[in-house]
A = this chain, B = another copy of it.
Amino acid sequence: MNELITKGKSAKKAAKELAKLSTEQKNQVLSAMADKLISQTGFLLQENEKDMEAGRKHGTPTAILDRLALNPQRILDMAEGIRQIIELTDPIGETIESFSRPNGLQIEKVRVPLGVVGIIYEARPNVTVDAAALCLKTGNAAFLRGSSSAIHSNMAITRLIQSVLENHQLPVGCVQLLEDTSRETSDQMLRLNEYLDVLIPRGGAGLISHVVQNASVPVLETGAGNCHVYIDDKADLDKAIRITINAKTQRPSVCNTIETLLIHQDWANRHLKEIVSALEEHKVQIKASEKARTQLPHLAAATEEDWATEFLDLIIALRVVKNLDEAIEHIEQYGSGHSECIITENQVAAQRFLREIDAAAVYHNASTRFTDGFEFGFGAEIGISTQKLHARGPMGLTALTSYKYLLHGQGQIRG
Residues of A within 8 A of B (CB): 16, 19-20, 99, 101, 105, 107, 112, 114-115, 191, 193, 197-198, 212-216, 218-221, 236, 238-239, 242-243, 245-247, 250, 332, 354-356, 358-367, 369-371, 375-377, 387-390, 392-393, 402-414
Contacts and interface: CB of A to CB of B under 8 A. Distances in A.
Given A20-B356, A101-B377, 16 more contacts: A99-B377, A105-B366, A115-B358, A191-B213, A197-B389, A214-B216, A218-B388, A246-B413, A362-B405, A363-B409, A365-B410, A370-B412, A370-B414, A375-B414, A390-B390, A392-B405
Which of A191, A247, A387 gathers the greatest number of chain B CB atoms within 10 Å?
Answer: A387
10 contacts: A101-B376, A101-B377, A218-B387, A220-B389, A247-B413, A359-B404, A369-B413, A376-B405, A390-B390, A392-B404
A404 B377 CA distance: 16
A212 B99 CA distance: 32
Nearest to A246: B413
A355 B21 CA distance: 12
Contacts of A408: 364-366
A206 B111 CA distance: 30
Given A114-B389, A220-B389, A411 B238 contact: yes
Nearest to A213: B216
A247 B250 CA distance: 60
B409 A365 contact: yes
A112 B355 CA distance: 10
Contacts of A19: 356, 358
A393 B389 contact: no
Contacts of A236: 411
B242 A369 contact: no
A114 B407 contact: no
Contacts of A216: 212-215
Contact of A358 (B112, B367, B411): B112
A193 B212 contact: yes
B414 A402 contact: no
Given A370-B414, A407-B361, A198 B250 contact: no
Nearest to A413: B246
Contacts of A369: 413-414
A55 to B, nearest CB: 32
Contacts of A406: 354, 362, 364
Contacts of A405: 360-362, 371, 376, 392-393
